[in-house]
Amino acid sequence: MVLPSSHSRAGAVADLRYSILSLVAQSFRGNTAWRPVWREPEPKPAYDVVIVGGGGHGLSTAYYLAKEHGIGSIAVVEKSWIGSGNVGRNTTVIRSNYLDHANIPFYEWSLKLWEGLEQDINYNAMVSQRGVLMLYHSDAQRDALARRGNAMRLNGVDAELLDRDAVRRLVPILDFDNARFPIHGGLLQPRGGTVRHDAVAWGYARAADSRGVDIIQNCEVTGITVENGRAVAVETTRGKLHARKIGLACAGNSSRVAALAGLRLPIESHVLQAYVSEGIKPLVPNVITFGAGHFYISQSDKGGLIFGGDIDGYNSYAQRGSTPMIEDVMEGGVSLIPTLSRLRMLRSWGGIMDMSMDGSPIIDKTPIEGLYLNAGWCIGGFKATPAAGWCFAHTIARDAPHELNAAFRLDRFAAGHLIDERGAGAQPNLQ
Amino acid sequence: MRIPCPYCGERGNAEYAYLGDAGVSRPQTPLGAALEGATLDAWMNYVYLRDNPAGAHRELWYHASGCRAWLIVTRNVSTHEILNVEAANGAIRDGRVGAL
Ligand SMILES: Cc1cc2nc3c(=O)[nH]c(=O)nc-3n(C[C@H](O)[C@H](O)[C@H](O)COP(=O)(O)OP(=O)(O)OC[C@H]3O[C@@H](n4cnc5c(N)ncnc54)[C@H](O)[C@@H]3O)c2cc1C
Ligand SMILES: [Zn+2]
């Protein structure tokens, strides 16, 4: 069933390795000799593994399936163009400053993969470890962050508890003496930071393509064929693709795609917005999260301030939000950094989030054989891109989760093993 | 987004609080010690599982900064178009919603 020719790299457009020499050579040719960095193959009738969703998670899964597990015949099918979903809409923050014992090792592995990613895939993703600072505004918050920092350190993650003066030296522009929410200090993870999000999609796409993965864009999955309890094929707008295994990585659309196989998920889709100001000179040196409201901010290399807050809070598949949340986020921002009120906001946009009911993700097999699920990332799945792909690839290839994603089970809701670290989930009827 | 309240008229969504899917109903049987079988499934459906459709969605909104009525709003969640609004108490009386 599986076509052997899929091992060969038809066209092999990605053979060019980027280096200082390749850049110089290209510039002498007036930058006219650059070629597309991945192929645009026609879908084949059959693959070993088909991944649904060409976001960060789908592309990294395909890459690690090929690289770590030697799977030769893989397709990633994407309904639009790759990077059109949340991987290109997020605020680019990466960190591993978690508290729960199920989360810390997973997110730390992700941060380690980020640290080696650009060498691994030979692509500049502008990984910038500028530090992530969580502020505290009361004694109780300091105790909670001290506990978090200790949990991180026990797991080998870097964490420093800073007092007010140390935070002031780092970021003098904050409103330290705010009457309601004075800043008492912060928990710094120096290795956290930001990554250029589009480059993550493109870099993984190029690296996966060069290992023979077919990236098939403008190809929406419209059906999943299940025979005798086993998923055997996906129907798409570009024909039927048979597969021995099918992995779903559809971010905000997980419920809809899983429903094609008759599954009902503990997930609601919600809209989350992001905002960018006009470009200014360096003002915000790292990623800062406000402890007294839902607001966080960093500054891009172009100079724009990038910030965000909460989900709008109601089911949505529209990739745009509403004005009350914009107002709420701006209020949070101006409380933390009063000088923001002098800036103009350039743009805002929305992305559709899979809000799982406990705020934590799912990387698991499903009750349907041959069908695997990566979903429920809520508002924080960008930082997970490398480890989610790595663990999902392991789960698909070995038919069992890796130790790192063993807690991210689909059946944990029925079993009562929720992950007690609220990344802010949806609306379970708990009362 | 603006939601027309049957009592107060059309108001901005910031006046409302959201509770989600109005289609799930609270099981009659208490969960007790039943950690498997039909009772567990019914509670799983009510507490955690959702259809999460991309089109029309029947959902509960509470007019918190207004008349404090619970409403059942039918909304196209892909366009934010409000298709229908009714007071939840009528629907509860008629047995058309069991979520509250
Ligand atoms: C405004 C905003 C800010 C955020 N900030 C952060 C942050 O700072 N840090 C962080 O860690 N996370 C952040 N996130 C969350 C993060 O972006 C997501 O959790 C993550 O990107 C989801 O994984 P993905 O990249 O694979 O998703 P996506 O890029 O959305 O990929 C899913 C893909 O599946 C495709 N698809 C869906 N249905 C089908 C179908 N039927 N057939 C084929 N393809 C289909 C979609 O078109 C899409 O391309 C943010 C999100 C948003 C919206
Ligand atoms: Zn009202």
- Residues from chain A that touch B14, judged by Cβ atoms under 8 A, are 324
Q: Cβ distance A423 to A360 under 8 Å? A: yes
Q: Do B48 and A264 touch (CB under 8 A)?
A: no
Please state whether A136 falls in left (phi above 0), alpha (psi between -120 and 50) or beta.
beta
- pLDDT, tens digit (0-9, with 9 covering 90-100), for A328-350: 999 999 999 999 999 999 999 99
Report if residue A275 sits inside a domain: yes
Q: How confident is the model at residue A11 (pLDDT cuts 50, 70, 90)?
A: very low
Where among A348, A371, A397 does a domain terminate?
A: A348
Report if residue A301 sits inside a domain: yes
Report if residue A413 sits inside a domain: yes
Q: Cβ distance A405 to A395 under 8 Å? A: yes
Residue A287 shares a structural domain with residue A420 = no
Residue A314 has pLDDT above 60, yes or no: yes
Q: Average pLDDT, stretch A355-375?
A: 97
Q: What is the CATH number of the domain that holds A183?
A: 3.30.9.10
Best residue among A86, A269, A374 to mutate for probing ligand 1's pocket (most ligand atoms within 8 Å of CB) is A86
**Exposed, middle or buried, A367 (CB in 10 Å: 0-12/13-18/19+)?**
exposed
Residue A163 shares a structural domain with residue A254 = no
Q: How confident is the model at residue B27 (pLDDT cuts 50, 70, 90)?
A: confident
Report if residue A4 sits inside a domain: no
Report if residue A11 sits inside a domain: no
CATH code for the part of the protein at B2-25+39-93: 3.30.2270.10
Q: Average pLDDT, stretch A76-86?
A: 97
Give percent of chain A above pLDDT 70: 94
Residue A218 has pLDDT above 70, yes or no: yes
CA A381 / ligand 1 centre spacing (Å): 7
Residue A83 Cα: closest atom of ligand 1: 29
Query: Among positive and negative, which fits the CA dihedral A135, A140, A142, A144?
Result: negative
Q: Cβ distance A183 to A78 under 8 Å? A: no
Tokens of B54: 């991309």
Q: How confident is the model at residue B98 (pLDDT cuts 50, 70, 90)?
A: low
Name the strand (E) or helix (H) holding A258. Answer: helix A254-259
Q: Average pLDDT, stretch A196-216?
A: 97
Three-state SS at A92 = coil
Where among A324, A348, A372 does a domain terminate?
A: A348
Give the pLDDT score at A40: 95
Residue A224 shares a structural domain with residue A117 = yes
Three-state SS at A244 = strand
Give the pLDDT score at A385: 98
Report if residue A32 sits inside a domain: no
Residue A77 Cα: closest atom of ligand 1: 43
The DSSP line for chain B is -EEEETTTEEEEGGG-EEEEESS----SS--TT--SHHHHHHHHHHHT-B---SSEEEEEEE-TTTT--EEEEEEETTTTEEEEEEEHHHHHHTTS----
- Does the CB atom of residue A52 touch ligand 1 within 6 A? yes
- pLDDT, tens digit (0-9, with 9 covering 90-100), for A157-187: 999 999 999 999 999 999 999 999 999 999 9
The string over A254-272, giving b where at least 16 C-beta atoms fall within 10 Å of a residue's C-beta and e elsewhere, is: bbbbbbbbebebbbbbbbb
Q: How confident is the model at residue B90 (pLDDT cuts 50, 70, 90)?
A: confident
Distance, in Å, from the CA atom of A201 to the CA atom of A92, rounded to the nearest integer, reads 12
Reduced DSSP (H G I as helix, E B as strand, rest coil) percent helix, strand, coil of chain A, to 5: 30, 25, 40
Report if residue A329 sits inside a domain: yes
Specify the number of domains making up chain A: 2
Q: Cβ distance A72 to A212 under 8 Å? A: yes
Partner-chain residue, chosen from B18, B44, B78, that has the shortest CB–CB distance to A318: B78
Q: Average pLDDT, stretch A367-383?
A: 97
Report if residue A253 sits inside a domain: yes
Residue A104 has pLDDT above 70, yes or no: yes
Mutation to test the B interface, candidates A411, A429, A430, A431, most B Cβ within 10 Å:
A429
Looking at beta carbons, which pairs linking A411-418 to residues 24 or more positions away fall under 8 Å?
A411/A364, A412/A358, A413/A266, A413/A357, A413/A358, A413/B44, A413/B47, A413/B48, A414/B40, A414/B44, A416/B35, A418/A357, A418/A358, A418/A360
Residue A95 Cα: closest atom of ligand 1: 11
Q: What is the CATH number of the domain that holds A403?
A: 3.50.50.60
Q: Average pLDDT, stretch A42-62?
A: 98
DSSP A41: P
Distance, in Å, from the CA atom of A214 to the CA atom of A81, rounded to the nearest integer, reads 14
- Record the pTM: 0.95
Backbone angles phi, psi at A380, to 5 degrees: -130, 35
Where among A329, A348, A367 does a domain terminate?
A: A348
Give the pLDDT score at A5: 38
DSSP A16: P
Q: Cβ distance A122 to A108 under 8 Å? A: no
Q: Average pLDDT, stretch B38-54?
A: 91
- pLDDT, tens digit (0-9, with 9 covering 90-100), for A222-281: 999 999 999 999 999 999 999 999 999 999 999 999 999 999 999 999 999 999 999 999
Best residue among A382, A383, A391, A408 to mutate for probing ligand 1's pocket (most ligand atoms within 8 Å of CB) is A382
Residue A9 has pLDDT above 60, yes or no: no
ipTM greater than 0.90: yes
- Residues from chain B that touch A314, judged by Cβ atoms under 8 A, are 13, 18, 59, 77
Q: How confident is the model at residue A95 (pLDDT cuts 50, 70, 90)?
A: very high
Q: Average pLDDT, stretch B50-56?
A: 96
- pLDDT, tens digit (0-9, with 9 covering 90-100), for A147-160: 999 999 999 999 99
Residue A274 shares a structural domain with residue A422 = no
Residue A291 has pLDDT above 60, yes or no: yes
Distance, in Å, from the CA atom of A197 to the CA atom of A51, rounded to the nearest integer, reads 20
- The radius of gyration of chain A's CA atoms, rounded to the nearest angstrom, is 22
Three-state SS at A406 = coil
Mutation to test the A interface, candidates B52, B77, B83, B97, most A Cβ within 10 Å:
B52
Q: Do B99 and A429 touch (CB under 8 A)?
A: yes
Give the pLDDT score at A7: 39
Q: Which domain holds residue A337?
A: 132-193+270-348
Residue A45 shares a structural domain with residue A115 = yes
- Does the CB atom of residue A348 touch ligand 1 within 6 A? no
Mutation to test the A interface, candidates B48, B57, B75, B81, most A Cβ within 10 Å:
B48
Residue A181 shares a structural domain with residue A320 = yes
